[in-house]
Amino acid sequence: MPGPAIPIGRSVHVRVPATTANLGPGFDTLGLALSLYDEVDATVSATPGVRVEVHGVGADGAVPTDASNLVASVVLDVLARKGVEVPGLDLVARNAIPHGRGLGSSGAAIVAGIMVAKGLLEGVAELGPAELLAIATELEGHPDNVAPALFGGLTIAWLEPRGPQHKKLNVHRGVSPVVFVPAHTVPTKLARSLQPAQVPHEDAVFNVSRSALLIAALIQSPELLLSATEDKLHQDYRASAMPDTSALVRLLRGSGFPAVVSGAGPSVLVLCERPSDRLLAADLVAAQSAVAWQPLMLAVDFKGATVTPMGAQSAAS
């Protein structure tokens, strides 16, 4: 017997935020959703095959436009997990998240594919929050980016025998992120390869204290952010792969700004205590950095990934 079917013509719109992981001391654990978005329109087609139209980041041919596209491959993977096939799939991707810059672009693509599948499967098969996170973590390899991309806000993510878990926290309204994005990229695999298998006991204790302090600073006491974003577990080890990033972090922190490497870099995140501090940080970087950086004045995204129906054939999500 054929499996459940998705109506031809069903369309959904998905929006996924950029994310920044680690936040200094919270290596592979803490993540924050930011107000910069990739968007995807997906339609089930009677025409066989997968077609992807790319706008924005990746429109220069860097992103595949067939079934090998990451968003498309994840959609098909999730549908297959639910025993569902579609004759054809048309995607229109509008990408704003820079690739290879430490802003969770691969995690966003994975979450986008999962959310497209969730929307298309409405009324056909269920995908609950725990399963969404489990699939996203399996495909991405770790939950620190996909958890905030899915659920928004500040997330603490961890692994248990029953699967990946997360806790979402609301961020103090004064916390104002600015991300400095360079023109060059650094592969995440390269950055991770520089991480040692063991670290000194005192460094581990240092980061435990700062991670605990960072939670308090982000949700209650932003004035503590400079101390709370200190790290001894990963940023110094990776500095050789991104000397410009390391220099910018030192410049900003030396002037009192809570600057950290965004994810695996090379972008730099500053978690300002108040919105006006972002302009001061941008002025400092423009005046004193030898490298050109694009400042992105962002907010914390509290919603996470969303999926909404499009067209008469789509069921409500």
- Is 279 annotated to bind ligand? no
pLDDT at 168 over 50: yes
Altogether, the residues listed in the chain come to a count of: 317
Position 102 in a domain: yes
Residues 33 and 165 grouped into a single domain: yes
Residue of 2 and 28 predicted with greater confidence: 28
- With cut-offs at 50, 70 and 90, classify the pLDDT of residue 190: low
Position 315 in a domain: no
CA distances from 219 to 43, 168, 206 (A): 39, 11, 20
Element (H, E) at 279: helix 276-288
- Is 104 annotated to bind ligand? yes
- Is 58 annotated to bind ligand? no
- Is 106 annotated to bind ligand? yes
Total domains in the fold of the chain: 2
Residues 156 and 184 grouped into a single domain: no
- Is 51 annotated to bind ligand? no
| Other CB atoms within 10 Å distance of the CB of residue 292 | 12
For residues 125-137, average pLDDT: 97
Structural contact between residues 93 and 40, judged by C-beta atoms closer than 8 angstroms: yes
pLDDT at 293 over 70: yes
Residues 256 and 148 grouped into a single domain: no
What does the pLDDT read at residue 2? 58
pLDDT at 316 over 60: no
What does the pLDDT read at residue 3? 64
- Is 34 annotated to bind ligand? no
Residues 220 and 144 grouped into a single domain: no
What does the pLDDT read at residue 195? 66
Alpha-carbon gap, residue 60 to 65, rounded angstroms: 11
Alpha-carbon gap, residue 195 to 198, rounded angstroms: 9
- Is 101 annotated to bind ligand? yes
Position 242 in a domain: yes
Q: What is the mean pLDDT of the chain?
A: 93
- Is 79 annotated to bind ligand? no
In single-letter form, the type of residue at position 136 comes to A
**What CATH number is associated with residue 305?**
3.30.230.10
- Is 265 annotated to bind ligand? no
Residues 74 and 139 grouped into a single domain: yes
- The whole-model pTM stands at 0.93
Residue 233, both tokens = 């577990």
DSSP bridge pairs for 180: 268, 295
Position 1 in a domain: no
Pairing of strands 49-56, 88-95: parallel
Residue 21, both tokens = 């992981």
Domain span at 205: 176-297
Residues 25 and 57 grouped into a single domain: yes
Residue 285, both tokens = 């970087």
